[in-house]
């Protein structure tokens, strides 16, 4: 009996170490809105890496100062509701369009990075709002959702450029729904 208890303790300890290591280098996030349609839809679950270098075109999740509303909380699963309150801040998921040092211009519904027009096969809405950023400062990123008509992103004064410290990680694998063939 004692030998069996020791084996159980070893197994539980090993599992906790694996979870701890996973949480240092990786994370899991769920998509809760439509700002990344058609790339990501509500309910998609993603594994993110916390250690990868952020590059142009990456889909990243980051911390904001936006707090959850009661409506936001009601959309969460019962288990996730246990860990949040109306004072909890939201994390957003967007695509990196501009890196530190880049020039960003949006005019006439088109996006230009360093004076080159972007080809964006991942969007299916018009990019609204005219913007000119001569140079993105060091340690900051310009992000936009793929569903430009509804995305709250770097075009907004409320979100603006994203500080590198606020980036949680880069999405690299969609594991739910299981048979979803769209590429991140």
* Residue 170 annotated as catalytic: no
Name the active-site residue from 35, 151, 154, 170: 35
**Residue 106, token pair as written in the block:** 């949006």
Integer Cα distance of 128 and 35 in angstroms: 14
Q: How many CB atoms lie within 10 A of CB 117?
A: 10
* Residue 35 annotated as catalytic: yes
Integer Cα distance of 153 and 162 in angstroms: 9
31 within 8 A of 93, measured Cβ to Cβ: yes
Integer Cα distance of 34 and 39 in angstroms: 10
Integer Cα distance of 178 and 181 in angstroms: 9
Name the active-site residue from 80, 94, 151, 154: 94
Enclosing H/E stretch for 95 = strand 89-98
Q: Known catalytic residues? A: 35, 94
């Amino acid at each position: 009996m004692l030998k069996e208890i020791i084996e159980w303790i070893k197994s539980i300890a090993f599992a906790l170490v694996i979870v701890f290591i996973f949480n240092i280098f990786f994370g899991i996030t769920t998509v809760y809105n439509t700002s990344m349609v058609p790339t990501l839809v509500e309910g998609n679950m993603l594994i993110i890496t916390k250690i990868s270098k952020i590059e142009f075109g990456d889909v990243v999740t980051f911390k904001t100062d936006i707090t959850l509303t009661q409506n936001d909380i009601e959309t969460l699963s019962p288990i996730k509701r246990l860990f949040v309150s109306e004072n909890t801040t939201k994390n957003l998921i967007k695509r990196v369009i501009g890196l530190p040092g880049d020039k960003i211009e949006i005019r006439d519904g088109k996006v230009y990075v360093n004076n080159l027009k972007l080809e964006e096969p991942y969007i299916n809405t018009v990019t609204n709002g005219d913007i000119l950023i001569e140079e993105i400062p060091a340690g900051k990123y310009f992000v936009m959702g793929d569903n430009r008509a509804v995305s709250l992103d770097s075009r907004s004064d409320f979100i603006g450029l994203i500080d590198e410290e606020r980036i949680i990680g880069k999405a690299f694998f969609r594991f739910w729904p299981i048979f979803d063939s769209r590429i991140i």
